[in-house]
Amino acid sequence: MSTLDDYSSQVLDVVDGIPPGQVMSYGDVAEYLGAGGPRQVGRVLAVHGGGAAWWRVTHADGTPAPGHERLALEHYLAEGTPLRAAPHIPPSRQVRVDMRKARWAGNR
DNA sequence: GTGTTGACAATCA
DNA sequence: CTGATTGCCAACA
């Protein structure tokens, strides 16, 4: 059993608090917690993200995490996340979330 | 204790 | 829009 660190617990808690159709950037989560940095948030999701909605956490540009772009796209389409990506999947690239609408500021 | 790496971000060319 | 550079913070060798 993995003992969650306090910081990891907080990050996972915030990620779990993001409603469907909305997303937060790594830096936003870090700034929301007021601790660590975007890289630490990414590391936490890389280790403990297996039980959290990691696809709701993206880069500041709206680009999803590496290695899961396709899976993230599936979740975005399923949750109705405002996307600004190519209508075709084949390359499965250039997948970006419309942060202008999908950006979540915690309590809104 | 030092140096490198990383699921990042902002700025410049 | 893409690519390169710098800054930030923590983990890792």
Strand partners, A25: A58
> What integer pLDDT is reported at residue A91 of this predicted model?
52
> What integer pLDDT is reported at residue A63 of this predicted model?
93
As a rounded value in angstroms, the CA-to-C1' distance for A41 and B4 is 20
> What integer pLDDT is reported at residue A2 of this predicted model?
56
Residue A103's pLDDT band (cuts 50, 70, 90): very high
Q: Which residues touch strand B (CB under 7 A)?
A: A 25-28, 37-43, 45-46, 49, 54, 57, 59-61, 65-66, 68
At residue A49, does pLDDT exceed 60? yes
Q: Which nucleotide shows the minimum CA-to-C1' distance to residue A46?
A: B7
Q: Which nucleotide shows the minimum CA-to-C1' distance to residue A7?
A: C10
Residue A88's pLDDT band (cuts 50, 70, 90): low
If DSSP states are collapsed to H, E and C, what string results for chain A? CCCCCHHHHHHHHHHHHCCCCCEEEHHHHHHHHCCCCHHHHHHHHHHHHHHCCHHHEECCCCCCCCCCHHHHHHHHHHHCCCECCCCCCCCCCCCCECHHHHECCCCC
As a rounded value in angstroms, the CA-to-C1' distance for A59 and B6 is 14
Q: Sign of dihedral through CA atoms A83, A54, A31, A105? A: positive
> What integer pLDDT is reported at residue A52 of this predicted model?
94
φ/ψ (deg, to 5) at A83: -105, 155
